[in-house]
Amino acid sequence: MTIQWYPGHMVKAKRKVSERLGLIDVVIELLDARIPLSSRNPDIDDLLEGKNRIIVLNKEDLADPKETQRWEDYFSNIAPTLTVNSLSGKGVNGIIKVSKDLMEEEMKKWEEKGRTKKDIRMMIVGIPNVGKSQLINSLSNKKSARVGNKAGVTRGQQWVKLRKGFELLDTPGILWPKFEDQEVGFKLALAGAIKETLFDSELLAYKLLQILTDVAPQKIEERFNLDYVNPDTYELVADIGRKRGCLQSGGRIDRERVSDIIIREFREGKFGRLTLETVDN
């Protein structure tokens, strides 16, 4: 299964981001803490060259805390890096503090020139369904941006007034034209960044089970009350199906239904805190 998704509105969105960067003081690059590398647009470094930037690892509540710390250390070599949960608001105040720190010298220059103090203008960029709208709502302490659990909810750019002294430009989720490594496509699909009509949920569930069998087989056992994890993924899905009562006439396993359950429960964090990528890999 090959996964690719780069609709026309993303091409337009990327162009608009580039055009608006001249207005921006600080860019927030939002990543999914479960898949830090796969959720990072490879075009972003060139796009944001020379701009103040904060890398933010979101959905930390779903990721392994030890791995998240390692990724935070890794990305700190590129830009100031923070870990947040945009849904609960945990850690989001740190974004405001770091932004002030990044703009301290510039603000002093404004004051020395006698200019009226202006708002710090921020932009948030990231892949679809990484939690941009939730983060904006947490930063502004209100429901100012649409929130959804499907890729592509935000389709246009909008300025949002945050707390005093800050404005933020929201942008749609942007992927890149081609995934050179299909492992990246699989992980983006698992995280909900790819439109669901573009992949086979059964094959995706098999892929997830293969990854979990390698990194955390006990999570599969615990979640589905299994005595052991069958290394044959096809049979493992059948084992899970029987445990969940996903049976059709004649006792056949409803594999589509089982696959949907596996993917949904991963996205909801029902397996526990999991990170699918490590710094070493």
107-139 pLDDT per residue, tens:
888 777 776 667 899 988 888 888 888 898 888
Domain 8-170 falls under CATH 3.10.20.30: no
How many CB atoms within 10 Å of residue 255?
Answer: 19
Give the pLDDT of residue 133: 84
Give the pLDDT of residue 255: 95
Q: Model-level pTM?
A: 0.84
Q: What share of the chain is helix, strand, coil (3-state, %, to 5)?
A: 45, 15, 40
- Which residue type, as a one-letter code, is found at position 52? N
Q: Which has the closest alpha carbon to 44: 78, 7, 92, 8?
A: 78
In the chain, domain spans: 8-170, 200-281
CATH code: domain 200-281 is 1.10.1580.10
Low-confidence ranges of the chain (pLDDT < 50): 2-9, 145-155, 176-177
Distances (CA, A) of 19 to 24, 43, 88, 114, 226: 10, 15, 32, 29, 53
Specify whether the CB–CB gap between 266 and 208 falls below 8 A: yes
Distances (CA, A) of 189 to 3, 19, 57, 102, 182: 8, 29, 18, 34, 11
Give the pLDDT of residue 80: 97
Instruction: Say what angle helices 217-224 and 201-215 make with each other, to 10 degrees.
Output: 120
Tokens matching residue 121: 């203008």
Burial of residue 16 (number of CB atoms within 10 Å: 0-12, 13-18, 19+): middle
Q: Which has the closest alpha carbon to 119: 105, 99, 133?
A: 99
